[in-house]
């Protein structure tokens, strides 16, 4: 997954200023105003949450705010649709497990 630097039709896609946010405590870069999901995708992050009972991974599915597959814990609030929520400087984004945030020291294997 990469950002498209130059597009044959769209040329350069307009972006806001570069901002820093965190994913599970790790610093990440993205562009202000783009959906959180776009910034994560550009960074190669595909798992947004694990389901409540079966702990199955979920990620971007509809990208227009309908399906709620991509929800995460954002600034402490669970079930935030990351595909339609604009990224802001300093946002604290956490992988959602069930309806809670993944513990920041955990990695995927221990879930």
Partner 1 sequence: MKRYELIVIGAGPAGLSAAVEAANAGMSVAVFDENARPGGQLFKQIHKFFGSKEHQAKIRGFRIGQQLLKQAEEAGVEVHLNSVVMGIFDLGEITVQHGDGVCHYKGDSILIATGACENMVPFDGWTLPGVMGAGAAQTMMNLHGVQPGSRVLMVGSGNVGLVVSFQLLQGGVEVAAVIDAAPQIGGYGVHAAKLARIGVPFYLSHTIVKAEGTDHVTGAVIAQVDESFRPIAGTEKHLDVDTVCIAVGLSPMSQLARMAGCEMTEKGGAVPVVDEYGQTSIPGLFVAGDVGGIEEASSAMIGGRIAGAAAARRSGYLPEEEFREKASALKASLGQLHEGMFSPKNKGRRDLTVTDEGYLLSKTLLHHGYLSEEEVAGFPGAAPGKSAGIHPVIECTQNIPCNPCQDACRFGCIRVGDHMTALPAVAENARCVGCGMCVASCPGQAIFLVNDEEEAGTATVTLPYEFLPVPEKGAKGVALGRDGRVVCPAEVVEAKTAGFMDGTVLLTMRVPLEMSMKARFFKTGEGTK
Give the interface with partner 1 as residue ranges (CB under 8 A): 1-4, 6-10, 13, 15, 34-35, 37-38, 41-42, 46-48, 56-66, 69, 83-84, 86, 108
Closest distance to partner 1 from the beta carbon of 19 (Å)? 15
Shortest CB 29 distance to partner 1, Å: 13
Q: Under 8 Å CB-to-CB from 15, ≥6 apart: which residues?
A: 31, 33, 34
Residue 96's DSSP bridge partners are 49, 101
Q: Tell me the closest approach of the beta carbon of residue 37 to partner 1, in angstroms.
A: 8
Residues 35/84, Cβ–Cβ less than 8 Å: yes
């Amino acid at each position: 997954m990469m950002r498209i630097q130059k597009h044959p039709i769209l040329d350069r896609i307009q972006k806001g200023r570069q901002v820093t946010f965190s994913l599970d405590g790790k610093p990440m870069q993205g562009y202000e105003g783009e959906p959180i999901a776009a910034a994560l995708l550009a960074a190669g992050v595909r798992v947004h949450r694990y389901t409540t009972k079966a702990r199955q991974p979920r990620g971007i599915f509809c990208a227009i705010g309908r399906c709620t597959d991509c929800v995460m814990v954002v600034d402490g609030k669970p079930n935030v649709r990351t595909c339609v929520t604009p990224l802001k400087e300093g946002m604290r984004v956490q992988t959602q497990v069930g309806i809670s945030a993944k513990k920041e020291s955990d990695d995927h294997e221990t879930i």
